[in-house]
Amino acid sequence: MFSLLEKIEAKSARVVVVGIGYVGLPLVLELARAGFRCTGLDTDPEKVRKLNACQSYIPDVSASDLAPFVLEKKLDATVDPAVLQHADAVIVCVPTPLNKTKDPDMGFIVAAAEEIARHQHEGMLVILESTTYPGTTSELLVPKLTANGQILGRSVFVAFSPERVDPGNPVYKTRNTPKVLGGATPECLRVACSLYSQILDEIVPVSSTETAEMVKLLENTFRAVNIGLVNEIAMMSRKLGVDPFEVIRAAATKPFGFMPFFPGPGLGGHCIPIDPLYLSWKVRTLQGEARFIELADSVNSGMPAYVVERTTDALNDQAKPLRGSKILIYGVAYKRDVNDCRESPAFAIMHGLHKRGARVSYMDPYVARLDADGVTQASIDLDTNFGSFDAVVVVTDHSALDRTRLAREARLVVDTRDALRDVVCDRAKIYGL
């Protein structure tokens, strides 16, 4: 342990980050900034090529940030897992999707663990950052890394630290977001803290890997349940003839006891729609129930269909059928001002509109082309006149959206984000959630 600690404290430890996407790329950058020799290991050769060419592929990391470290050979990338045999520390940042039955798909974590074990040597630190159910680190990772005779807390050190990346956040980045960290043993925690304290502003140690795993699930379950609540409030409010966004903003003036969440067209991203279901699945394996999670998932998963219904009703009010109508989806990224389309509700909305016979196009300044979830399509020109469509559905309210032009040109707008609230226009053609 002491030789590994000495390497970490001297910044001579070689670090490999498995998975260099939205979580892994900012992490390898911070490691290189701190003075560590760092390699990104990924199965995607295009990401590897771009990093080695000093090119970024996510908005939160610029090419100018990467270039000095790549050129100084402090940072590189590879598709060859043999690099693991030279690693003193390995941080795993691979995806953890759900399968078609909404059960956890652990394939990426298992594959990463098997590669690490295949190239394992004495004195290695392994930290899992991929969001998963409580017990994954101790039940899956630890057995694989101790099967070859390595002793936990003495010759191999294992920890879990949930990623807290918020793409597009202008204030909180990898370095200044507090980092929760749980070790498989006290010695494991000590070594992991030593590494992360070199690159991050604040470490929040907890008593176990299970606690650290549960922290992330609580954070995103809190958000999913509250978003489910306001989505249901939005549907109730429309039936009552009340504007739900006005209700929420007025309630938010209370200086205590209330935190505003806002309704939308459905959940997106790799965390909020998925993480609570990891917890729900784990509880089911223990013959328990996660009723709030299941109900919130039901409400949130139904929002794209609700948007399709609102679009249908809005066109009916103008004596137009949805079938044959030209519909423009504005914004297909899952949140404002990012290019990340993972789990975006735009896909389900587009599928729903297509199924009813609409002719659907999309416009997004951050996503030039879609090739996912059965949608293969290119964004139309950003200067296209909104009036050339029968309706525009605002799914993602990017800052680049010219709200005044949209309100002026469009024949009809289904505004799922309340983006046009402050725009002076003919309100009769604006339909909210």
Question: Do residue 215 and residue 198 come from a single domain?
Answer: no
Q: Provide the percentage of residues in the chain whose pLDDT is more than 90.
A: 87
Average pLDDT of 15-30? 96
Contact criterion met (CB below 8 Å) for 347 and 372: yes
Question: Of 261, 267, 276, which Cα lies nearest the Cα of 348?
Answer: 267
How buried is residue 428: exposed, middle or buried, by Cβ count under 10 Å (0-12/13-18/19+)? exposed
**Rounded CA gap, 16 and 222, in Å?**
32
Question: Do residue 307 and residue 348 come from a single domain?
Answer: yes
What does the pLDDT look like over 86-111, one tens digit per residue? 999 999 999 998 887 788 899 999 99
Residues labelled as active-site residues: 271
Task: For the sheet with 326-330, list strands across it.
Answer: 359-363, 326-330, 391-394, 413-415, 430-432
What is the pLDDT, as a whole number, of residue 104? 86
Average pLDDT of 1-10? 86
**CA geometry: angle 160, 13, 47, nearest 5 deg:** 70
Question: Do residue 344 and residue 231 come from a single domain?
Answer: no
* Residue with the two structure tokens 């939005």: 234
- Domain assignment of residue 428, given as a range: 302-433
Question: Do residue 169 and residue 117 come from a single domain?
Answer: yes
DSSP 8-state code for residue 138: I
What does the pLDDT look like over 125-135, one tens digit per residue? 999 999 999 99
Q: Kindly indicate the confidence band of residue 301, based on its pLDDT and cuts at 50, 70 and 90.
A: very high
Question: Do residue 139 and residue 7 come from a single domain?
Answer: yes
Taking the complete model, does pTM exceed 0.85, yes or no? yes
Q: Is the pLDDT of residue 167 over 90?
A: no
What is the pLDDT, as a whole number, of residue 213? 96
Structural domain ending residue among the three candidates 279, 301, 323 = 301
Domain count, the chain: 3
Question: Do residue 45 and residue 180 come from a single domain?
Answer: yes
Q: Provide the percentage of residues in the chain whose pLDDT is more than 70.
A: 100
Question: Do residue 31 and residue 129 come from a single domain?
Answer: yes
Average pLDDT of 70-82? 96
Q: Is the pLDDT of residue 11 over 80?
A: yes
What is the pLDDT, as a whole number, of residue 389? 98
**Rounded CA gap, 148 and 308, in Å?**
55
Structural domain ending residue among the three candidates 207, 234, 259 = 207
Q: Kindly indicate the confidence band of residue 372, based on its pLDDT and cuts at 50, 70 and 90.
A: confident
Q: Is the pLDDT of residue 412 over 80?
A: yes
**Coil, helix or strand at residue 24:** helix
Query: Do β-strands 37-41 and 413-415 pair in parallel, antiparallel, or remain unpaired?
Result: unpaired
Q: Is the pLDDT of residue 1 over 70?
A: no
Question: Do residue 112 and residue 218 come from a single domain?
Answer: no
Q: Kindly indicate the confidence band of residue 2, based on its pLDDT and cuts at 50, 70 and 90.
A: low
Q: Locate 387 and state its tokens.
A: 């009036």
Question: Do residue 191 and residue 276 come from a single domain?
Answer: no
Question: Do residue 264 and residue 309 come from a single domain?
Answer: no
Structural domain ending residue among the three candidates 285, 301, 317 = 301
Residue 41's DSSP bridge partners are 18, 78
Question: Do residue 203 and residue 230 come from a single domain?
Answer: no
Q: Is the pLDDT of residue 373 over 90?
A: no
What is the pLDDT, as a whole number, of residue 180? 97
Task: Output the domain CATH number for residue 342.
Answer: 3.40.50.720
**Rounded CA gap, 83 and 42, in Å?**
11
Question: Do residue 69 and residue 159 come from a single domain?
Answer: yes
